[in-house]
Chain A
């Protein structure tokens, strides 16, 4: 049971993601493709079967963590970087405003650090794609010239 805990929790996260995608109007097949699951598993999830409500509670707690901790949990639970990105974009719905000030020297450290691959260099300046930003603030904290600000947008 203990050995299976991470698996249960990741299943819980996938369940939440499936529900989220369903609420956006995606079909079972589309959800299965997006989350890399069997269609039958998606159907089970959406019919409330095969999962303990405990694991969903834990998964919900993880979803409500601050973005940086959430990302750390995702990195332990899902080793695959593309899966982490997909899940993070579905589960975290906050919007961010990103500001790169002119003091940016284009060192590219943020590009290398960004798990979401949201940052690219353009003319020696970091360019952040806000839609991909998960708000972890790693770039802001590590920027050697303190040139990045990530602000959460109130909806």
Chain B
């Protein structure tokens, strides 16, 4: 499956919005935990739904580096590209 970075950004933003308990603006620089208030369980469930959707596994050291929405998009883009390589 071929995913463009733009498609991934749209899907990741939608998935984040669905996980929110209250409405919030989601920009590339938005911090997932601090700004959106997602707890650790919600973050894990979000990651796992993205992993299912893109058929990738995000290693834990990569998860630890993800702070902003941009970080998350970048991780998914890189992992989906590796899958094709």
The answer to whether A and B come from one shared complex is no
- A interface residue numbers (CB < 8 A to B): none
- B interface residue numbers (CB < 8 A to A): none
